[in-house]
Amino acid sequence: MTERPKNIALSPDGSAVRIVDQTRLPGELVFLDLRGRDELYEAIRALRVRGAPALGIFGAYAIYVLSLGYGAADFLPRLDEDAAVLIASRPTAVNLERQIERIRVLAHRMDGAPADELRAAMLAEADAIRAEDAAMCRAIAEHGLSLLREGDTVLTHCNAGPLATSEYGTGLGPLLLAAERGMDLRAYVDETRPLLQGARLTAWELQNAGIDVTLITDSMAALAMKEGRIQAVLAGCDRMAANGDAANKIGTLSAAIAAKRYGVPVYILLPSSTIDLRCPSGDAIPIEQRDPEELRSLWYERPMAPAGVSCWNPAFDVTDHDLITAVVTEKGVVHPPFDIHLKELFGGECT
Ligand code: MRU
């Protein structure tokens, strides 16, 4: 069997990070080779690469590729500077900071080693981060699937599929695993205004996997739940605080509130690399603000709002922990109270 191309990998000559440009989907499957700091930074800002675990993997390979240009004398100062720049590109997904820091700390521990040895260790660590993510996503898919029954329809928001991770996805993992096993699960997909990750990416991934997908606007989700069309909400996460508050794509909170009203369980699926026990609650999670043009004109042939109208464009919201039925991690399904159970399971590794 030929191996499926990875979303994020080194280019064959080892000099660049190769990604699928997610802004070109679903129309075109385009791979980009990225080398310079500006283009690596731009790829994150423009969401060519996106999704919390994918950002962490990308950050790890990006910092390795940048290190190819460092000399022995200035290796660590340049590494520190590039790491700070890349980490600042998007603030909400903790994976980006966590995995870049993992590489940076490793290099500092090897202070004094020849540059080639440092680079080899950094690359091995980036490979390990990707492999760990693949294993975690697979386990999350298994645990998530245990919460669903044959014939269920789930609602999903944004994109938490293979494109957003190493390969399996988090929020979409149970659906993809079910499809592999011939189990009948269906999905309603929120289009996910304003950047349409649901319409462009999730619908594409699920359709390619042969899953029954119905695309809706975000504002239709409450009605779908009221009419009994949805048996569970499955969403990914960009950063989970110690009390279980979950930052995810803007609109997740509305879906969770509607789900509570209509008795639909809300499952947040995430690897432990997305849990940040340093944040006591969602109030401590930084929320990215994005360009107003994403509301006024992006995706439209002509602007759909009056020129210059002021906009508020937070990229994420925080779903309060009391709206979450369970958190699905690689170690299993975590039930409330999340402040106690998350610390018990992940206290040693998520700070
Ligand atoms: O702005 P994005 O597209 O990077 O936002 C992504 C999400 O909100 C995902 O749901 C989250 O990162 C989990 S991906 C497994």
User: What whole-number distance in Å separates Cα of residue 215 and Cα of residue 20?
Assistant: 23
Give the Å distance between the CA of 22 and the centre of ligand 1: 12
Grouping H, G, I as helix, E, B as strand and the rest as coil, residue 137 is: helix
Strands annotated E in 279-344 = 316-319, 326-329, 332-334
In the residue annotation, 80 being an active-site residue is answered as: no
**Residue among 48, 96, 196, 238 to mutate when testing ligand 1 (max atoms within 8 A of CB):** 238
pLDDT in tens, 78-102: 999 999 999 999 999 999 999 999 9
- Over range 258-284, report the average pLDDT: 98
Predicted confidence (pLDDT) at residue 222 exceeds the cutoff of 70? yes
Is a pLDDT exceeding 50 seen at residue 47? yes
pLDDT of residue 175: 98
- CA distance linking residue 50 with residue 37, whole number of Å: 17
Phi, psi of 216 (to 5 degrees): -135, 160
What is the CA angle 30-35-41, rounded to 5? 85
Atom of ligand 1 nearest to the CA of 171: 15
Query: Per-residue confidence at 167, pLDDT binned at 50, 70, 90?
Result: confident
Say what the pTM is: 0.97
Instruction: Give yes or no for residue 1 having a pLDDT over 80.
Output: no
Tell me how far apart the alpha carbons of residues 220 and 202 are, in angstroms, rounded to a whole number: 17
How far the first Cα of the chain sits from its last, in Å, is 40
Q: How far apart are CA 247 and CA 245, in angstroms?
A: 7
Q: Please tell me whether residue 250 adopts helix, strand or coil conformation.
A: coil
- Atom number in ligand 1 closest to CA 249: 8
8 Å CB contact between 342 and 334: yes
**190, 238, 245, 317: which is the annotated catalytic residue?**
238
Query: Residue 223 pLDDT > 80, yes or no?
Result: yes
Residues with Cβ within 8 Å of 170's Cβ and at least 6 positions away in sequence, in order, are 53, 137, 140, 160, 164, 236, 237, 269, 270, 271, 328
pLDDT digits 0-9 by tens, 116-150: 999 999 999 999 999 999 999 999 999 999 999 99
pLDDT at residue 228 greater than cutoff 50: yes
**Cβ < 6 A, ligand 1 pocket:** 47, 50-53, 93, 158, 160, 164-165, 170, 197, 236-238, 248-249, 315
Which residues are registered as beta bridge partners of 19? Answer: 8, 32
Atom 15, ligand 1: residue with shortest CA distance: 160
Please name the amino acid found at residue 242.
A
Residue 347 has pLDDT above 90, yes or no: no
Least confident segment among 71-80, 98-107, 239-248, 340-349: 340-349
